[in-house]
Amino acid sequence: MGEFDQLIPRRGTDSIKWHVKSNELPMWIADMDFKTAPAILKAMREKVDFGVFGYEEPQADYYKAVAHWYETEHHARPETNWMLYCTGVVPAISAVVQRISNVGDNVVVQAPVYDIFYHSIENNGRHVLSSDLVYDQQAHTYAIDFKDLETKLADPVSTLMILCNPHNPIGKVWSRDELIQISSLCQKHHVILLSDEIHGDLVFGEPAYTPLFSLPDALIQHTITTVSPSKSFNVAALHAATVIVPNENLRESVSRGINNDELGEPNLLAIPATIAAYTQSSDWLQALKAKLVENRQFVAQFIETRIPEVQLVSENATYLLWFDVSQVTDDAEKLTVFIREQTGLFLSAGTVYRGNGCYFLRMNIACPTNMVEDGLNRLKQGIEAFKK
């Protein structure tokens, strides 16, 4: 049995995902039911065995590890002096919202999108201005309406755009051309562009992931890219992220924001675990991706043959699958509550991601394939009962 086929019981740990009833199967929040890479565990053990845990700050080896990863995995080496450490991608986003925009400004997003973007914007007294992604009902794909995006960026009180690349929850990675267009529009209208690339390592085949910082120099001076080993290596509770800001003045501002909020100091495991991830865990990631591809194919076939009223929309990114359930309901929230009550399957309702999310469900398939199968059987049963 492969390492990604092992069912590791997580009930009774402090896992948010698994804080559910004994008959329930959680396939919602974005963490994986897999153990992290051996090299990361080894680095953590060595650190714990050392036993002295005073205040820390990342040194050159940390930043070199990040640069090395992007160079070897994604063919784009960010300068180490562009980087800032932060205790998470969401904390970095909130710090940027606070420091880079003003109360009452618009922050442009593309709904349906990761719901916490809305919290970071609205909890800080800014307005969400969405240039909704355009859904093609026939092809089951999403696209950017660049005309609409430009109109929204051109609004004088739009000062920041938060992009999700690859895009959670729709499972799509943006092409280099699309990134160039987005970045050019932001530059034209004096909007700072923050690209959340936490899912960047989880892209399967083509089109490949293009880090925003790999665009030509002139197109990255108003950009901030956030990356982290958290999704790729299942270390969300590590609370480690790197913020990449090529322009010195902007970087100073972002650094001030991170440090004002006291988000710049790593916990005792963040540095060794990140270095081990980025320098020794590429093979593990390849094996993980093979498992995720297998799970995606399993889901695609199951849905097509056994739940034909549901369509799989996700393209080639993330382990979060986006299902069109518009033939079943226009109230995804109601459907997820019903499915959970009837079958114990706990999915995310698309509604929280706004836009046309009320017609969609999101399922996390980063778990052993037999758990995915269990989830799909429950989904089928839940949908059939709901239709009655």
Binding site for ligand PLP (CB under 6 A): 30, 88-90, 114, 164, 168, 196, 198, 228, 230, 236, 241
**CB 198 → ligand PLP: shortest distance, Å?**
4
The 311-312 sheet, strands edge to edge? 311-312, 320-324, 360-364, 348-349
Residues 141-164 as b or e (16 or more Cβ within 10 Å = b): ebebeeeebbebbeeeebbbbbbb
Token pair listed for 288? 């993980």
3-state secondary structure of 194: strand
Q: Please say whether the beta carbons of 122 and 101 come within 8 A.
A: no
Place of tokens 């097509």: 304
Q: Please say whether the beta carbons of 112 and 349 come within 8 A.
A: no
Nearer to ligand PLP, 236 or 379 (CB): 236
**CB 118 → ligand PLP: shortest distance, Å?**
12
**What number of CA atoms fall less than 13 Å from residue 286's CA on the CB side?**
5
Cα separation, 153 vs 134, in Å, equals 17
Nearer to ligand PLP, 178 or 343 (CB): 178
**CB 243 → ligand PLP: shortest distance, Å?**
11
**CB 326 → ligand PLP: shortest distance, Å?**
23
Cα separation, 21 vs 1, in Å, equals 28
Nearer to ligand PLP, 120 or 158 (CB): 120
**CB 121 → ligand PLP: shortest distance, Å?**
13
Nearer to ligand PLP, 149 or 236 (CB): 236
**CB 366 → ligand PLP: shortest distance, Å?**
11
List the one residue out of 155, 148, 135, 146 whose CA is nearest residue 183: 146
Nearer to ligand PLP, 88 or 344 (CB): 88
Nearer to ligand PLP, 164 or 383 (CB): 164
3-state secondary structure of 334: helix
**CB 373 → ligand PLP: shortest distance, Å?**
24
Nearer to ligand PLP, 166 or 382 (CB): 166
Termini Cα distance of the chain: 40
